[in-house]
Amino acid sequence: MRIQLCVVGRLKVGPERSLIDDYLKRFDRIGRGLSLGPATVSEVEDRKGGGMGAEAVLLKRAVPSGARLCVMDERGKAMSSPAFSEMICGWRDQGAQDAAFVIGGADGVDPELRESADNVLSFGKMVWPHMLARVMLAEQLYRAAAIAAGTPYHRA
Ligand SMILES: C[S@@+](CC[C@H](N)C(=O)[O-])C[C@H]1O[C@@H](n2cnc3c(N)ncnc32)[C@H](O)[C@@H]1O
């Protein structure tokens, strides 16, 4: 099952970008034997400044058709890492070819797009900058694959 991170804004080369690349590379490596991945990042940018609504149009286009959709939002459901791993493996076991994770821009994710998601997930009630949310999601994807593979990375 391919994984698409659909995000608003272009991330320049820097520490966040290196971490994302590193976690996604690790996810791909461990996910290969689990039919998970590859994970790719699709960055969209609303150059005309149309805000959340215009970003939602671009984000929807970046989501592969038929993909399981998970929107990241501070108002969403908090999940443990093992439960997150089970959710992803469950989608794979149901035969999903793609799963997409959406991270919004400065104004957040358009409510209509949020309501259309299979799941709305939260990293807690605090609001994080979108580039840090990307890093956290990339790490959780790697952790989810490590849990599914039974490696000792996750120790809880
Ligand atoms: C700067 S935040 C948007 C903030 C917010 N909705 C607002 O109105 O201030 C950018 C994106 O990062 C992600 N994000 C930030 N904090 C999050 C959290 N606690 N849980 C899940 N996603 C989060 C969401 O996808 C959000 O759309």
Q: Ligand 1: which of 8, 74, 77, 109 to mutate, judged by most atoms within 8 Å of the beta carbon?
A: 74
59, part of any domain: yes
Query: Residue 104: CB within 6 Å of ligand 1?
Result: yes
Predicted confidence band of residue 46 (pLDDT cuts 50, 70, 90)? confident
Predicted confidence band of residue 25 (pLDDT cuts 50, 70, 90)? very high
* Cα 150 to middle of ligand 1, angstroms: 31
Task: From the CA of 75, give the closest atom in ligand 1.
Answer: 20
Query: Residue 79: CB within 6 Å of ligand 1?
Result: no
Please tell me the predicted confidence (pLDDT) of residue 48: 86
Query: Residue 101: CB within 6 Å of ligand 1?
Result: no
| Cβ atoms 145, 36 nearer than 8 A | yes
pLDDT of residue 23 exceeding 80:
yes
- Does the interface predicted TM-score (ipTM) exceed 0.85? yes
pLDDT of residue 127 exceeding 90:
yes
6, part of any domain: yes
Query: Residue 131: CB within 6 Å of ligand 1?
Result: no
Ranges 29-38, 41-50, 132-141: which has the least confidence: 41-50
Nearest CA to ligand 1 atom 25: 103
Please tell me the predicted confidence (pLDDT) of residue 117: 98
- Here the CATH number for the domain that contains residue 16 is 3.40.1280.10
pLDDT tens-digit series, residues 50-109? 899 999 999 999 999 999 999 999 999 999 999 999 999 999 999 999 999 999 999 999
Query: Residue 123: CB within 6 Å of ligand 1?
Result: yes
Predicted confidence band of residue 17 (pLDDT cuts 50, 70, 90)? very high
155, part of any domain: no
| Domain span holding position 84 | 2-149
Query: Residue 130: CB within 6 Å of ligand 1?
Result: yes
Please tell me the predicted confidence (pLDDT) of residue 144: 98
Please tell me the predicted confidence (pLDDT) of residue 122: 98
154, part of any domain: no
The structure tokens 């959710």 sit at 87
> How many domains does one find in the chain?
1
pLDDT of residue 153 exceeding 80:
yes
156, part of any domain: no
116, part of any domain: yes
pLDDT of residue 7 exceeding 90:
yes
Task: From the CA of 105, give the closest atom in ligand 1.
Answer: 10
Binding site members for S-adenosyl-L-methionine: 104, 123-128
